[in-house]
Amino acid sequence: MAVYTEVGDAELEAFLADYDIGEAEAFKGIAEGVENSNFLLTTTRGQYIVTLYEKRVDPKDLPFFLGLMGHLAARGINCPQPIHGRDGKALRQLAGKPAAVTSFLHGMWPRRIAVKHCGPVGEALARLHLAGRDFELKRPNALSVADWRPLFEASRADADSVAEGLVRELDAELAFLEAEWPRDLPSGVIHADLFNDNVFFLHDRLSGLIDFYFACNDALAYDVAICLNAWCFEPDRSFNTTKARALLQAYEKVRPLESAERQALPRLARGASLRFLLTRLYDWIHTPATALVKRKDPLEYLAYLRFHRSASSLASYGL
């Protein structure tokens, strides 16, 4: 479920009066997603997405997110394009929440990831990295290495009840990554959450990227590591080298990795595993079991972390 805020007819009508996108014909809550309230709006002119930003999005970051989507869309990346009102503004209020209208993207996200999806994702990621180079706003990554320990501390007391020995293992992992985190890699705008539920395909072609609400400035290769985790493990948690090769090769056709980036990938992949392990662990412990939102399994990312820990170079992955 992801409709946290209800929108009344009169409120919607008043909101839409500030835009030039026609009159509402239908307005339906979208069940998917967990962070924000999303609605599909059909007007006399077409289809749009209305997003109400809920508590996990810091309103001060919204100009970055909306500006970035506009910037990328203008450079040919198929992502939601913020629709500006008659006053030129893309961000306003609806039902007491910050809200925006964006273009609707056609396609479906792949429920079962196949090798054929991985090349297009690698290519799209590299194109996004290039298109983001001249985006003028900056947003530091709020979930990078310095943020992991406080996140872990908030779950420490209950972590061993999720997996035996987890506290000791994560303490050691944090110490390693804090000391060895690669710091001078090429950086720029990264998506930072390009999982399969954020990538649309239509007739086997990648048709769009969504959910830019973790986007930030960080090492570009860290985004590659996030995608290797999100796209290249099988449901039994084994690593699929064929998928990884397809993703990396397609990425490098557009933006070849520097040798320092290639060398850093195993460490970046450990960090990317720990980051999602920690946010999932936090949610696992702090979300009441009765909540409507489905919690994601932190142990999936513990398995990925252990796998990457055993790799010393890309050759260890068979890449």
Ligand X SMILES: Nc1ncnc2c1ncn2[C@@H]1O[C@H](COP(=O)(O)OP(=O)(O)OP(=O)(O)O)[C@@H](O)[C@H]1O
Residues that bind ligand X (CB under 6 A): 2, 30, 32-36, 38, 49, 80, 102, 104-105, 197-198, 210-211, 213
Contacting ligand HSE within 9-68 (CB under 6 A): none
Beta-carbon contacts of 136 under 8 Å, excluding residues fewer than 6 positions away, are none
The letter for the amino acid at 72 is L
Residue 65, classed as helix, strand or coil, is helix
Does the protein bind ligand HSE through residue 276 (CB under 6 A)? yes
278 binds, among ligand HSE, ligand X, none (CB under 5 to 8 A by kind): none
| Both structure tokens of 208 | 């769009």
Q: Would you say 107 or 188 has its CB closer to ligand X?
A: 107
CB of 68 to ligand X, least distance (A): 14
CB of 120 to ligand X, least distance (A): 18
Among 92, 237, 296, 306, binds ligand HSE (CB under 6 A): 296
The letter for the amino acid at 209 is L
Q: Would you say 13 or 234 has its CB closer to ligand HSE?
A: 234
User: What Å distances lie between residue 74 and 68, 71, 83, CA to CA?
Assistant: 10, 5, 13
Neighbours of 26 (CB within 10 A): 10
218 binds, among ligand HSE, ligand X, none (CB under 5 to 8 A by kind): none
Q: Would you say 31 or 175 has its CB closer to ligand X?
A: 31
Residue 42, classed as helix, strand or coil, is strand
Does the protein bind ligand HSE through residue 275 (CB under 6 A)? no
276 binds, among ligand X, ligand HSE, none (CB under 5 to 8 A by kind): ligand HSE
Beta-carbon contacts of 280 under 8 Å, excluding residues fewer than 6 positions away, are 295, 296, 297, 298, 300, 301
CB of 301 to ligand HSE, least distance (A): 8
Does the protein bind ligand HSE through residue 195 (CB under 6 A)? yes
Degrees, nearest 5: CA angle 99-105-108:
115
280 binds, among ligand HSE, ligand X, none (CB under 5 to 8 A by kind): ligand HSE
Q: Would you say 75 or 306 has its CB closer to ligand HSE?
A: 306
Residue 207 DSSP code: E
Segment holding 160, helix H or strand E: helix 145-162
296 binds, among ligand HSE, ligand X, none (CB under 5 to 8 A by kind): ligand HSE
Beta strands in the chain (DSSP E): 24-29, 37-43, 47-52, 92-94, 97-103, 187-190, 199-202, 205-209, 216-219
Distance CA 278, CA 149 (A): 9
Which residues of the shown chain bind ligand HSE in the complex (CB under 6 A)?
A: 193, 195, 276, 279-280, 296
